[in-house]
Amino acid sequence: MSRPESLSPLFRSLHSIKGVGDKLAALLTRFFGAPEGQDAIALDILMHMPSGVVDRRRQVGIAEAYLNQIVTLRLHVDRHQPPPRGKPHVPHRVFAHDDTGDIQLVFFRAWGGWVEKALPLGEERFVSGQIGFFNGEKQITHPDYVVEPDKFATLPLVEPVYPLTQGLSSKALGKLVRQVVDSVPELPEWIGPETLAKNKWPSFVEAMRSVHLPEQPAEAELWGPARMRLAYDEYFAGQLTLQLVRSTMTAAQGIARVFTGEITERVTHALPFSLTEGQQQAVTEIRADLASPDRMSRLLQGDVGSGKTVVALMAMAAVAEGGAQSTLMAPTEILATQHFKTLKPLCDMAGLGCELLTGKMPAAERRAILGRIASGETTIVVGTHALFQSGVEFHNLGLTVVDEQHRFGVHQRLALSDKGRHTDLLVMTATPIPRTLVLTHFGDMAVSVLREKPRGRQPIDTAVLSIGDYGRVISRLQARLAEGAQAFWVCPLVEESEHLDVVAAEDRFAELQKVFGYQVALVHGRMSAAAKQEVMQRFSANELKLLVATTVIEVGVDVPNASIMIIEHAERFGLAQLHQLRGRVGRGSVRSGLPAALQGATQRNRQSPPRHHQIHRRRLRNCRARHGTARPGRCAGHQTIRHARLSACGGRCSPPPHRLCP
């Protein structure tokens, strides 16, 4: 179905808009997370909501402008005082006045004469900014706006404030927003008139203008009619999209698959362990779906390390008994490679052809693999987004398994399922999804839940430490590594940033090298795939004891001997990221620990609990919902994580401390 022409302005590339060059277009594409090979579109800008507003409507005289107020003044420019030669640290000062008093406008590093051009002597300008004091004199340091009197209408008296990224200024984004909002077409209303009247919601176009070009601060408030209407639109669109996916996945009649039991029995014998009760139950549910004439659409939910990959293997083995192929799609090459390394030995012992297909393979090797896939010689294909590209043809694709399903767009999942007729779908996620959200977003998708860890897996102790405890952590880490343990040290940035006061991975690696020498290595997303693979192989082989990394290790890293993870500046990571990172430890028989080193007790940290506490509480809520337990802090099969308190004077593990903490 083609898109209606009336919607074209919403889906046009931002690169096509006047003033957006190649550099800005590439920045916006990365910022908005556009799919690979596509540009960011106008709708990305429209749905990028302000985080607040700046009110510049206070137009008073200098005498009535008070400290820290944001005001808009009409000033007469009296004189300029540039910095003396050889003293670039001294600011350029502009002296101005109005009928009520005097003020100074201060500009640091104001080279090139642009200040003199913006504020000519003897002329009037509207100036907007925050009032400050220096040596008893009022001043505005780096005014936000300086405009001529006849262009006063261009000064935004109520200015939205947007989340930004390095290299993207608020003025550049604001200019682009105004251009896009002005091009939004009048669309047929899809919300019922009763709902609009009841909630006093504006039209879609009016709501966009109120949020992005407000005339009053209340128009852009989070709970205002405009934002609520757009939130409803977004949720409604999401539900319609999901319904389209469901109808596409289930409209075609499925195949009632027949099982001989031979291949699944060989796989079972090849496993070095027995399936847990949860895994056996999930396999039984999946086999029942595959045997049904209806097309399977099932969600497999389980914590990191709960054994979802083995369940998927049993499903793919069952499909192979009927002569069909299966594919397992992962979001990253690291995770796809990890899956392949897990599945390949088991498939070889069971007599199943298993191949890895990624986008960075040599051409000759890729052609050979594609040939075996097309001929049916390969039964199971593990890969990344390369699996749904046009050149990949399957002999008889029967089952599509999507891991970390939330990382793939709808069109990607549909493209892969379209590779085969009557293809069944199994999606896997490690993110704990409350039952209500499962019913909302996967309403007609059957759900299997793995509630227990494989036998021998130890629980993970979690603690919160202040950054001031760095020395104690290093001391205990030395002792643990001397005992044979391995550890991850995760940082939020690759290199130092001028805009964020956080420790980067490169700087932390340099510091840890002074202590641990050749035992420590660095891995991050800017390294080549070969370099990352070499470091990970050395770490897996226990040649390295400590791995400093960014979130590149979030998925697909399986080192059972790694039992310690330190997440520095944990407050800068999202809840889902922390959950995935936490899953990199606790994969062996040794009890694991996750101290999360925070950057002191900021006001934000005092107001909201550390996110690892939220992770644990969510696990408890989900567990109580499943098992019907009402006693707080207790649920079957789970040990309560010992919480640590973070005080304003510095964190302490309390009580009892984790082994890493002295």
Higher pLDDT, 411 or 265: 265
- What pLDDT sits at residue 250? 56
Burial class (CB in 10 A: 0-12, 13-18, 19+), 460: buried
pLDDT, one tens digit per residue, over 595-614 is 555 444 333 344 444 444 54
Higher pLDDT, 334 or 395: 395
Higher pLDDT, 464 or 378: 378
d(CA 446, CA 246): 12
- What pLDDT sits at residue 452? 77
For the packed helices 204-212 and 225-251, what is the interaxial angle rounded to 10 degrees? Answer: 130
Higher pLDDT, 159 or 620: 159
- What pLDDT sits at residue 389? 72
Lowest mean pLDDT among 13-27, 248-262, 269-283: 248-262
Task: Please name which of 330, 300, 307 lies closest in space to residue 438, comparing C-alpha atoms.
Answer: 300
250 token code pair: 């289930």
Lowest mean pLDDT among 58-72, 260-274, 455-469, 638-652: 638-652
Higher pLDDT, 172 or 443: 172
- What pLDDT sits at residue 354? 93
> If you compute the radius of gyration of the chain from its CA atoms, what whole number of angstroms results?
29
- Which sign does the torsion angle of CA 652, 655, 656, 658 carry? negative
pLDDT of residue 48 exceeding 70: yes
324 token code pair: 């069909």
- What pLDDT sits at residue 341? 87
Mean pLDDT (the chain, rounded): 80
Higher pLDDT, 645 or 396: 396
Is residue 487 within 8 Å of residue 564, measured between CB atoms? yes
Q: For 461-477, what is the mean pLDDT?
A: 82
Higher pLDDT, 618 or 73: 73
pLDDT, one tens digit per residue, over 390-431 is 778 888 999 989 886 544 555 555 555 556 567 888 888 876
Higher pLDDT, 440 or 651: 440
pLDDT of residue 625 exceeding 60: no
pLDDT of residue 121 exceeding 50: yes
